[in-house]
Amino acid sequence: MTQTGEVIRWDAERGFGFIATADGRRHVFFHVRDFRGGAAPGVGLRVGFEEIQVGGKGPRAMDVRPLNPAVAAASPRAAAGSPDAPRSSASPAHRHHTSRAHAGDPPAANGAALARLLMLGWLALLVWGAWSQRLPAWLPPGALLLNGATYLAYAGDKRAAQSGAWRTPEQTLHLLALLGGWPAAWWAQQRLRHKSRKLAFRQRYWVTVLLHCTALALLAARPAWLPLPRVL
């Protein structure tokens, strides 16, 4: 059945967005390949679409068409950088904002090298600590299980973001990283392309990494006469 609604979110880089239905009760996911307009969709664009259900992922809009094609072509908030939009269509302000956003990103190669180096050191410390009894023997397998849960949490939040379902709070993701799931969190950010461009989230994430690694190093380096805390 054909429905109408309004685009309330559009991610030009990833090529997907969400449409609020006419009654405002539901948000329906759509992909750029299902958009039939002559230009990239933009927030506020009124569209018609066919809704389908995709397994457990929720509703999805197909055959998305602007109700007024002329408005779609001239939409001031159409997402520049979409495959359907020429580069020259981006305003100077948008280009300036985009260049600043990219300028704020740390060099990918350096960041990846640092993360992998920290992971190797963290893993070596866990294994050595358990072998030398400076750390509890259950800590390495517990960390493995925690990292598996962390990756699944990121994957679930990614699916929820695409389908408009209930999201995992960022505080939960940070708590998992703080407890020791930070390596899987980093891999999920890179592999799933989730939370990898949100500067505030990344800053808090690296704070949790620093706190966890510092606490683990202090625990392993404690004097021999000082026993492990009872909680461990």
CA-to-CA distance for 43 and 211, rounded, in angstroms?
A: 39
Mean pLDDT, residues 28-56: 83
Mean pLDDT, residues 100-107: 43
Q: Highest-confidence range of 65-69, 91-95, 153-157, by mean pLDDT?
A: 153-157
pLDDT at 93 over 70: no
Q: With the CA atoms of 182, 184, 185 and 189 taken in that order, what torsion angle do they form, in degrees rounded to the nearest 10?
A: 140
Mean pLDDT, residues 98-109: 45
CA-to-CA distance for 163 and 190, rounded, in angstroms?
A: 20
CATH 2.70.170.10 fits 2-92, yes or no: no
Domain with CATH 2.40.50.140 in the chain: 2-92
pLDDT at 82 over 50: no
What pLDDT does 71 receive? 53
Q: Let me know the angle formed at the C-alpha of 143 by 137 and 144, rounded to the nearest 5 degrees.
A: 105
Pairing of strands 16-21, 46-53: unpaired
More confident residue, 71 or 2: 2
